[in-house]
Amino acid sequence: MLPSNFSPDLLAALALGGILLGAIALVLGILALLRLGKNLPALVKLLQIHDDLLGGSSGRASERIAAIEAALRVAELRGEESASRIARLEGLARIDLSLVGFIRYDAYEDTGSTLSYALALLNRNGDGVVLNSIYSRSDTRTYGKSVRGFLCESNASEEEIAAIGLAKESAMHDAVAAGG
């Protein structure tokens, strides 16, 4: 028997609230079971690994764990060595002259061949040098000019600008080939 100070409306509201809470709990329980079902193969695999580690036929679990720890230490050392090598290589890659642009041209009409050339040797930042060798029947002259950010620091000829442009294109080609 309920105390008389509870109204029927209050009791109905409490009953409805209880039903709603029960329905929410049921839905959450179903969702949890569905989620467990998705992860069940992973859990089975973890249990197999656990059983293999602790219940295998060869050796005790402590020996296996010690062997795994030793292998992890070796792998960690190799990882540190690899990271150090990668850092050194990245440092070298920033300053290497891996971008090349080469243009052959005929500096003078009377030479009859394209024996003059402009050669740009740049790093990945576009810094380096452009060399220009001008051939004539009487002599050959070679000039070098500094390049910063794919721009010649002094007056550049058309051929020098073209060689720098080819070097820059090779950088873009390398970036596309590398997926960047």
Domain assignments of the chain as residue spans, ordered by start: 28-92, 96-177
The residues, ordered by sequence, that sit 6+ positions from 106 with a Cβ below 8 Å of its Cβ are 112, 113, 114, 115, 116
pTM over the 0.85 mark = no
Asked if the model's pLDDT at residue 88 lies above 80, the reply is yes
Q: What is the mean pLDDT of residues 138-149?
A: 94
Instruction: Give the residue, 162 or 11, on which the prediction is more confident.
Output: 162
**DSSP string covering 29-65, please?**
HHHHHHHHHHHHHHHHHHHHHHHHHHH-SSS-HHHHH
Position 57 scores a pLDDT of 54
